[in-house]
Each structure stands twice: as C-alpha cells, then as structure tokens.
C-alpha cells in the first residue's frame, strides 16, 4: 500500500516521508508498493499518520495527506504532503512541515486474468526538502527513488513487490537499495489482511543495512470509504530523524476516500 505518483502537477504540491535517509510511503498501509495505477479519471485521497518509536526517539509524519490521480491509461500521478514530528531525548518535541513527495506510476505490462505473467510498472519518486532538516524534520536535500514493481493476483490472493535505488545526497549519506515483498488475502468482502518484509542497504556512513516487517489490513466501510492500518518492526522507513531510531516499532493509520 506502501506512496503514489506525482499528482496533477499543476494542482498539487507536497508529500511526506522524508526520513533523513530517504524512503517513502508506498502502497498504503504498507511500505512495499505495487505497479497498479489508479483507474483513469479516478482519485484516491488518504488522511494519515505514520511513525516510528525506537531507543531514544519517536518520530514520524502526520497529520498528512496523500493524493493519487489516474491521469491516463496506466498512468497515476501522486503527491504526499503534511507535517512531521520528532520527539527527542529530554522531552523536546519538534513539529513542522515535512518534506514533500511527488511521483508518477506507469504500468507497462498489464496481463489478462488468465495470463501467467505479472503486472509490471515503474514508480519514480522525488523528495523535495521542504522540511527543516536542522530540527530533524526533513532530509535537507533532494532525493530520488527509481523502483520497479511487480504484482500477481489469483482468486482472493494478491502478491506484489520489487525494489529500487535511492539517490541520497548530503554529508555522510550514501545512495542505497530498497527491496520489499507482500502477500495479501481478501478474508471477507470488506476486509483484506496482508504482511510484508523489506530490506534496505546502508544509507549513512557507519550504519549497517536494516530489515523489517509489517502486518496490516484494509477495511471497506463502503465503496468510497476505507480504513487502513499496519504495524511492525525494523527498518528506518517511517523515521524523520532516522539515525536516532535504531530498530523501531512502526505504525501507519489512514482513512481513504476513493472516487
């Protein structure tokens, strides 16, 4: 559930998840994303909060908003914007504008229901440094993510995943790789449950690579209104002040409106 694509570029403007190492929200309520765009002329709007709590720090994003739009057949535009927070040791809480995420998801392989091969797409993202990095609320530099995503559906099961390369400039930073995979089942007409695992290589000089997992679900109140929730451990993907978080407990909570 994972981020989405660079919204009607003239009409939007900001997005989230600029950990000080990069890493965006993906296919909500998960970090791993999929290649399936929003249908032509349709919208997805998420009001959300996401964060991480580790050894010495609690940090994250919210309230935030994600908007995705089906701009053309197989093409979705995406933006995430909002506030970020960083509760540092000693009880000092910083709150302010987060970094902004823009992207465009393009599915270039779309098989029929009876075909054996998966959907395939790309979802390049740009993180604009609109947050205050000196206060632990942003990355302080432009970042880019260049991923490839695959998805296969059969019956009530869905699996998707892939990964890509983060361009992560700045003093002490490293470019790095992210990989993730998810398995999800539609348990009832209204409720789907899924789990993901993910891994990223070192994003900072002196820091090891990190891995983690999330378990989450989507509940459909109606055709247009949905509740999304996930929680897990590991990684630095929801951290704004990532170096302080270590191996955090993470959460994601959103209300989604589709039309």
Using an 8 Å Cβ cutoff, are 25 and 37 in contact? no
Span 232-244, pLDDT tens digits: 987 555 444 444 4
pTM equals 0.85
Task: Please give the pLDDT value at position 142.
Answer: 96
- pLDDT (average), residues 191-214: 91
Using an 8 Å Cβ cutoff, are 80 and 101 in contact? yes
H or E element at residue 57: none
Ramachandran bin of 63, using left for φ above 0, alpha for ψ from -120 to 50, beta for the remaining angles: beta
Comparing 26-35, 181-190, 224-233, the range with the smallest average pLDDT is: 26-35
Task: Please give the pLDDT value at position 244.
Answer: 43
Within 54-99, strands assigned E span: 58-72, 75-88, 92-97
**Domains located in the chain, CATH noted:** 43-258 (2.40.160.40)
Comparing 147-161, 217-231, 243-257, the range with the smallest average pLDDT is: 243-257
pLDDT grade, residue 6 (50/70/90)? very low
C-alpha distance from residue 182 to each of 3, 29, 152, 157 (Å): 15, 11, 11, 11
More confident residue, 68 or 170: 68
Please list, residue by residue across 225-238, b when 16 or more beta carbons sit within 10 angstroms of its beta carbon and e when fewer do.
Answer: ebebebebebbbbb
Name the token pair of 133: 């990095």
DSSP for 89-135 reads TTTEEEEEEPPEEEEEEEEEE---TT-SSPEEEE--EEEE--S-GGG
For the chain, the distance separating the N- and C-terminal CA atoms, rounded to the nearest angstrom, is 17
- pLDDT (average), residues 228-255: 72
| pLDDT over threshold 90, residue 30 | yes
Phi, psi dihedral angles at 242 (to 5 degrees)? -55, -40
| pLDDT over threshold 90, residue 113 | no
Name the token pair of 95: 């709150």
Using an 8 Å Cβ cutoff, are 240 and 50 in contact? no
**In the chain, pLDDT over 90 holds for what percent of residues?**
66
* Cα 45 to Cα 35: distance, rounded to the nearest angstrom: 18
Pair type for strands 119-122 and 143-154: antiparallel
Give residues with Cβ within 8 angstroms of 48, minimum separation 6: 25, 28, 61, 62, 63, 64, 65, 66, 82, 228, 252, 253, 254, 255
């Amino acid at each position: 559930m994972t981020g989405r694509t660079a919204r009607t570029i003239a009409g939007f403007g900001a997005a989230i998840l600029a950990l000080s190492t990069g890493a965006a929200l993906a296919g909500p309520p998960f970090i791993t994303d999929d290649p399936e765009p929003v249908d032509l002329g349709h919208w997805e709007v998420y009001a959300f909060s996401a964060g991480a709590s580790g050894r010495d720090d609690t940090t994250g994003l919210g309230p935030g908003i994600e908007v995705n739009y089906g701009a053309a057949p197989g093409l979705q535009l995406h933006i995430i914007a909002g506030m970020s927070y960083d509760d540092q040791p000693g009880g000092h809480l910083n709150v302010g504008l987060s970094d902004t995420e823009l992207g465009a998801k393009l599915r270039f392989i779309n098989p029929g229901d009876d075909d054996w091969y998966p959907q395939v797409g790309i979802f390049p993202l740009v993180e604009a440094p609109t947050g205050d990095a000196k206060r632990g609320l942003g990355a302080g530099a432009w970042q880019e993510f260049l991923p490839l995503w695959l998805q296969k559906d059969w019956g009530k099961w869905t699996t998707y995943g892939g990964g890509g390369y983060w361009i992560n400039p700045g003093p002490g930073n490293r470019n790095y790789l992210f990989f993730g995979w998810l398995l999800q089942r539609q348990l009832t007409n209204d409720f789907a449950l899924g789990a993901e695992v993910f891994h990223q290589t070192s994003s900072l000089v002196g820091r090891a690579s990190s891995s983690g997992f999330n378990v989450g679900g989507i509940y459909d109140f109606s055709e247009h209104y949905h509740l999304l929730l996930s929680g897990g451990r590991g990684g630095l993907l929801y951290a704004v002040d990532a170096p302080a978080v270590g191996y955090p407990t993470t959460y994601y909570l959103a209300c989604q409106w589709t039309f």
